[in-house]
């Protein structure tokens, strides 16, 4: 619960409201997304894809997803969410 | 039947060549083509909507919003939001305690929507969040929304069944989706008049903006759309408990209301 709140706060900081952060999922897997501050993007850990946020607008069309190849890409300071909706 | 109706239509004075239905207009079949189309028309979309409907589209959209059952404090979704007309109307209904999530796959339309939002002063408009997304792969968890709308969007979606399934999943049980679009009329008189208006009013005006092909697409998209009965049936097949289609705008427009 505390970890989930921390992740929500990061999404709020990126300009995504907490209500939106609770609702948003990966368009392909429907699993929760993880905010990555370094790249200002939403990460779908289950398929290793990153969706960018540009000018405050998340780009969540499946073809907007960027495949994360390396362990370096996958690592971030944010712990993965443990809850699924 | 068609021959009889030809005589019933106003005759053209002969100055303008009748549009050749056999001319090669590249079909706008796939989603990528449609996305590109909506990106191209984005700069003039709002003005042309006002012009072609003589402002009536604003009334129809208000009806769509009413039918959605939206109320203050709700979290609501507008799919195929375009430049944001329905999103702004929804935000007035949900107020500052509510939230409007507005989704479209056209980046250019979303940029215009976001600009309109920043130009407007009402506090409730700050509650609209724009998402670039695909109506057939909605990035929202199940049962998230108290109401949903789609305005002039479902007709443009290639896989309409999938879009309806996605809408169904993201709505809370008992909530409604209100879907506004052109009416694919079962009345051949209505559809003939609709065709004539597109061929002789919409396309010529659009060609002045260099968008003749884009608005020619409109006519084909209506022909390929579903009738009111077919929309009701589709909603039922996808799982909606109730579905009712209302003809509005002298039968040229229609609004499907489906309950989850």
Confirm or reject contact between B39 and chain A (CB < 8 A). no
CB contact under 8 A, B132 and A25: no
C-beta of residue B105 within 8 angstroms of C-beta of residue B133: yes
pLDDT score of B52? 79
Looking at the DSSP assignment, which residues form a beta bridge with residue B149? B78, B178
Chain CA centroid to CA B220, Å: 15
pLDDT tens per residue across span A10-46: 555 455 777 788 899 999 999 999 888 888 899 999 9
Cα–Cα dist B54/B218, whole Å: 17
Residue B1 predicted with pLDDT over 80: no
Measured between beta carbons, the chain A residues lying within 8 angstroms of B114 are 55-57
Please compute the mean of the pLDDT values over residues B206-225 and round it to a whole number: 84
B246 exposure class (CB count in 10 Å sphere: 0-12, 13-18, 19+)? middle
Tell me: pLDDT of B32 over 50.
yes
Q: Residue A20: list chain B partners with CB under 8 A.
A: 99, 101, 129
Candidates A19, A24, A62; nearest CB to B99: A19
Kindly state the percentage of chain A with pLDDT values over 90. Answer: 40
pLDDT above 70: residue A9: no
Which of B102, B139, B146, B169 has the highest number of chain A CBs within 10 A, making it the mutation to test binding with A? B139
- Portion of chain B with pLDDT greater than 90, in percent: 58
Residue A82 pLDDT: 42
| ipTM of the prediction greater than 0.85, yes or no | no
B174 three-class SS: strand
What's phi and psi for A67, nearest 5 deg? -75, 130
From A51's Cα to the closest Cα of chain B, the distance in A is 10
Render A8-62 in DSSP notation, one character per residue.
HHHHHHTT--HHHHHHBB-TTT--B-EEETTTTEEEETTTTEEEEEETTEEB-SG
Strand partners, B102: B78, B130
Query: How large is the average pLDDT for residues B178-188?
Result: 91
Q: What was the pLDDT predicted at B134?
A: 96
Helix (H, G, I), strand (E, B) or coil at A66: strand
Quote the pLDDT of residue A10. 53
* Per-residue pLDDT at B13: 38
In whole angstroms, give the CA distance from residue A47 to residue A39.
Answer: 17
Interface of A with B in 40-69 (CB under 8 A): 55-62, 64
């Amino acid at each position: 619960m505390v970890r989930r709140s921390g992740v929500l706060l990061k999404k709020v900081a990126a300009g995504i409201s907490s209500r939106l952060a609770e609702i948003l999922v990966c368009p392909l897997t429907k699993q929760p997304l993880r905010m990555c501050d370094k790249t200002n993007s939403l990460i779908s850990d289950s398929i290793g894809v990153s969706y960018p946020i540009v000018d405050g607008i998340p780009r969540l069309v499946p073809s907007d997803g960027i495949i994360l190849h390396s362990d370096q890409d996958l690592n971030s300071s944010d712990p993965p969410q443990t809850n699924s909706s | 039947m068609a021959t009889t109706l030809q005589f019933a239509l106003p005759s053209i004075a002969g100055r303008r060549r009748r549009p050749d239905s056999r001319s090669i207009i590249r079909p706008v079949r796939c989603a990528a083509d449609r996305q590109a189309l909506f990106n191209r028309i984005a700069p003039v979309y709002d003005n042309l909507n006002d012009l072609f409907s003589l402002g009536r589209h604003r009334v129809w959209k208000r009806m769509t919003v009413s039918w959605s059952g939206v109320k203050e404090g709700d979290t609501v979704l507008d799919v195929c939001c375009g430049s944001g007309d329905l999103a702004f109307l929804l935000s007035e209904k949900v107020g500052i305690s509510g939230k409007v999530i507005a989704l479209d796959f056209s980046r250019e339309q979303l940029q215009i929507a976001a600009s309109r939002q920043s130009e407007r002063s009402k506090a409730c408009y700050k509650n609209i969040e724009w998402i670039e997304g695909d109506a057939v792969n909605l990035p929202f968890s199940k049962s998230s929304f108290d109401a949903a709308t789609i305005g002039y969007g479902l007709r443009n979606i290639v896989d309409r069944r999938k879009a309806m399934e996605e809408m169904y999943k993201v709505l809370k049980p008992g909530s409604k989706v209100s879907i506004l679009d052109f009416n694919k009329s079962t009345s051949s008189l209505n559809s003939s008049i609709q065709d004539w208006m597109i061929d002789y009013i919409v396309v010529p005006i659009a060609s002045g903006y260099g968008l003749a092909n884009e608005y020619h697409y409109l006519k084909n998209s209506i022909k390929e759309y579903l009738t009111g009965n077919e929309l009701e049936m589709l909603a039922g097949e996808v799982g909606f408990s109730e579905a009712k289609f209302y003809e509005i705008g002298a039968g040229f427009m229609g609004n499907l209301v489906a309950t989850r």
